[in-house]
Structure 1
């Protein structure tokens, strides 16, 4: 009965979507990415080492000077525990952005892989969902490894920390989708400097290392608009065991950003490849 229900839903979706946009072959796109990266384990490991190096440096260095900060809801927490969820959100962001910008650009502009894919029954929506799905999978690998180490360090004491993994996957979805949509507008590798120009200040100013209260009020409103801040705010609240109504706003923001990016990536692929 379950198989028939899923099949009926699939046929309904195919009738609703424009012809040729989606064929239900997301798994083929993901499988191709898995096979292409099966020997790139060192690159995956490096994505975990960087945030852990940051964390250890702040715990052993700066954390010895700043022993306690105010976390969500005014709860006191160690500086390492304050920084850890922010680094987890940043790791998920970096994994998704790398997969859905640099790799997508090469496949779109140089290897023309998507042209070959669209010559088969695979549609633009399959490609977008498959690439974003692989980016989420890579973000999951980073997040699981990071969570294992930080939990062993005793930085997450609340049961709400169990929700950090799905929160990290949501961050990866939002950044992967919007990154894939934006990269379709780039025409040369030199333009990737614009991506770094956006990512580095966002990483530094999205309360990754300092609470929002250190900024003047006008700057706080600007910081609140940053997508990484939304992810960090959500994950820091979960890590501290201090859920709030504002976290629903964080969820809505990231879901809306991811949905908009998925729509934009699908439409751009259909336009660029199919003309």
Structure 2
């Protein structure tokens, strides 16, 4: 309802048209979706077959012992959702914005800047959700799903996708050359490696723990790992609030940047 009260030049309520367009474009590029699942899946298989045998059991949420591959799997699931969302919200948006000039053509229709932001972010969230569903199915086949609450990994992955897609699209509007995508990777790769994806927070030195807890992926990993093991506590509300706040800021910034750059 609040969106409908915005000026028509900013929002016209046609987000579904952008999602439909993206679905039509990608229906012949299904291999792109497969690639988003393959990388974390290879990590998972490597830990199951090799590295996990060397590490043995680790202490998971609630102090309960668990295999290392079961510890890592939920984190890889949300990391897969993050990667899919970031790809669509940065690379794809940059191409449409700087090269094909697609958004300029869209603004010649009743579609507004907020439509564009919400449409692109929504598609990125759907893509991240598809990755997470496929990954959860693989986890189930490998016997890594031990709690009914593991089904909540899908909403967690969607929330992570929303936060990263929103911020990623806002960042993409600042990029001027393809070489600047290295900055995106410079932010995403350390988050993937150090957001308690492979190690519990307790192994980091005290000052570094505070840095890790700022990472958006850390909050997604903690949510996913808790639900995967069936350990739920009030701290999860803080993780959800962090990701929702980040998503709201990202959507606002993306819509503002699109409006500023295309309606000037």
User: Normalized against structure 1, the TM-score is what?
Assistant: 0.94
Instruction: Tell me the residue number matched to 1:202.
Output: 191
Instruction: Tell me the residue number matched to 2:232.
Output: 243
Equivalents in 1 of 2:3, 2:211: separation in Å? 39
Greater shift after overlay, 206-215 or 95-104? 206-215
Shift of 1:19: 3.0
Equivalents in 2 of 1:14, 1:153: separation in Å? 46
Instruction: Tell me the residue number matched to 1:20.
Output: 9
Equivalents in 2 of 1:52, 1:19: separation in Å? 44
Shift of 1:221: 0.6
How big is each residue's C-alpha offset from its partner over 1:17-43, in whole Å with a ceiling of 9 and x where there is no partner? 133111111111011111111111111
Shift of 1:194: 0.6
Shift of 1:72: 1.1
Equivalents in 1 of 2:130, 2:8: separation in Å? 35
Matched, 1:180 2:169: yes
RMSD value, Cα: 0.9
Equivalents in 1 of 2:4, 2:221: separation in Å? 36
Instruction: Tell me the residue number matched to 1:112.
Output: 101
Note the residue ranges of structure 2 that are not aligned, 5 or more in a row.
Answer: none
Shift of 1:148: 0.5
How big is each residue's C-alpha offset from its partner over 1:164-202, in whole Å with a ceiling of 9 and x where there is no partner? 101100000000000001111111111111111111111
User: Normalized against structure 2, the TM-score is what?
Assistant: 0.98
Instruction: Tell me the residue number matched to 2:204.
Output: 215
Instruction: Tell me the residue number matched to 1:52.
Output: 41
Equivalents in 2 of 1:37, 1:252: separation in Å? 32
Matched, 1:146 2:135: yes
Equivalents in 2 of 1:259, 1:147: separation in Å? 27
Equivalents in 1 of 2:23, 2:151: separation in Å? 27
Q: Among 156, 159, 164, which residue is 2:148 paired with?
A: 159
Q: Among 48, 52, 65, which residue is 1:76 paired with?
A: 65
Shift of 1:13: 3.7
Task: State the secondary structure of the residue aligned to 1:77.
Answer: strand
Q: Among 16, 24, 27, which residue is 1:35 paired with?
A: 24
Matched, 1:224 2:213: yes
Q: Among 86, 95, 100, which residue is 2:89 paired with?
A: 100
How big is each residue's C-alpha offset from its partner over 1:208-237, in whole Å with a ceiling of 9 and x where there is no partner? 111111111110010000011111011111
Equivalents in 2 of 1:13, 1:24: separation in Å? 8
Note the residue ranges of structure 1 that are not aligned, 5 or more in a row.
Answer: 1-8
Equivalents in 2 of 1:200, 1:20: separation in Å? 37
Aligned length: 264
Q: Among 89, 112, 115, which residue is 1:126 paired with?
A: 115
